[in-house]
Amino acid sequence: MRPSYLLYLSYRNLFSHKMRTILTASGVAISVAFVVFLISFALGLQRISTDQISNINALQVLDVSIGKSKILSLNDETIDKFTKLGNVSEAQPQVSAAARIKAGDSSIDGVIYGKNNSYLKLDDTRISLGEQYEDNSSDGALINIAAQKQLGVSDVDIIGKDISVDVVIRSESLEKGSGTKTVKEDLKIVGVINDTSAPFVYVPLHIFIDNGVVNYTNAKVKMESKDYVNQAKLQIESMGFNTTSIKETIDQINQFFAIFQVVLVSFGGIAIIVACLGMFNTLTISLIEKTREVGFMKALGTMRSNIYWIFTLESMLIGLFGSVAGVAIGLGAGGILNYSIFALASGSGNQAVELFYIPAVLVVFILFISLMISLLTGLYPARRAAKISALDAMRYE
């Protein structure tokens, strides 16, 4: 019997009882939609979490510090050693110090950081107003939103605003034998950093160097590829320095969401099991109703394999209709919620996020798994149908 005719018989058998078939396929659709919705939600949260703390470049960067060591020094010589390590593309230092920030009659306590433009790029510094300073600028400064608000300066007046900072440079940053040093710097704000944490100021690194700083607070070391981060981490730590990496944080987040996804899929699996029971029940009833018909087919010479495939194809058709509808419902529900979130965020002036996300490859995989489960569900009824005795089937009432 031709495969196309077997498929036709399976289709005809299913839709001879349309309501029963539609209800069974709906059960499969709801379970698949539930799984797609849960997985897309978990993947969306994972992507939002990782995107918020890193970009592609950040995965290639190590943060280096001396920790609590009283022996190590992070100076130009050390930075040069880092750049000569294998697969390192650049190393940039930073200095930090406590400071008193003054603008007009207002003054606040904060932190001042000395870092060049190259460090700002490695740090993924995001400017909400103005622009970054030039490395050779003697008075350019960036302040964050928290400092701007506490100083009481509006967005209109902030760019070009004159401020002064009283910086307390620690003895560890100066030549050996020097004590703590306090200096005053007059600066001009050229940009505002999109950050609402504690108040701080960024200035070009040369401001600290001009005031006698020779030892840096920490540094960033960038690899040519994220594949070399672990190797460089071991090399730098063997020198006695402490290292941290966004990649480690990302790995921990991914591990958490892997467990989270398994838990969600487990809940979705319960729905799929219920749908499979409904499908099994439908196929069994179909077999009972068509027992005499199967007997006549066998009496007319229909092979057992053909009977087997008629019932197997019935289960696969139910799985196909239900799976496609389920994926469409799951993706549609996620898309509607994403659009609603985008509309709300745009209306309130906040940043829009894609809360539901699922790659196309995973959609295909879910369809494939659903079809395989449908096939397995139909194997037992199909085997029973194939083994029915023609004489017993024709006697069946």
| Residue 45 confidence (pLDDT) | 82
Output the average pLDDT for the chain: 83
Q: Quote the longest CA-to-CA distance of the chain.
A: 108
Report residue 380 as tokens: 């037992």
DSSP 101-133: EEETTEEEEEEEEE--HHHHHHTT--EEEE-PP
- Contact between 196 and 129 under an 8 Å Cβ cutoff? The reply is no
| Residue 43 confidence (pLDDT) | 86
Per residue in 53-68, pLDDT tens?
555 567 788 999 998 8
- Contact between 94 and 154 under an 8 Å Cβ cutoff? The reply is no
Gap between the Cα atoms of 13 and 381, Å rounded: 14
Identify the three-state secondary structure at position 243.
Answer: strand
CA dist list (Å): 220 to 24, 40, 126, 172, 246 = 59, 35, 17, 19, 12
Gap between the Cα atoms of 169 and 184, Å rounded: 11
| Residue 317 confidence (pLDDT) | 86
276 vs 337 pLDDT, higher one:
337
Average pLDDT over residues 112-134: 89
Per residue in 344-388, pLDDT tens?
767 665 666 778 888 888 888 888 888 888 888 888 777 777 676
| Residue 113 confidence (pLDDT) | 95
Per residue in 280-320, pLDDT tens?
887 777 766 666 666 667 666 667 777 778 778 888 888 88
The answer on pLDDT for 392 being more than 60 is no
| Residue 291 confidence (pLDDT) | 66
Domain boundaries, the chain: 3-54+252-395, 67-240
Per residue in 236-291, pLDDT tens?
999 999 998 877 777 777 788 888 888 877 887 788 888 888 888 877 777 666 66
| Residue 80 confidence (pLDDT) | 93
pTM listed for this prediction: 0.61
CA dist list (Å): 3 to 9, 10, 306, 310, 377 = 10, 11, 9, 9, 21
- Contact between 369 and 277 under an 8 Å Cβ cutoff? The reply is no
Q: What is the DSSP letter of 134?
A: P
Gap between the Cα atoms of 176 and 172, Å rounded: 8
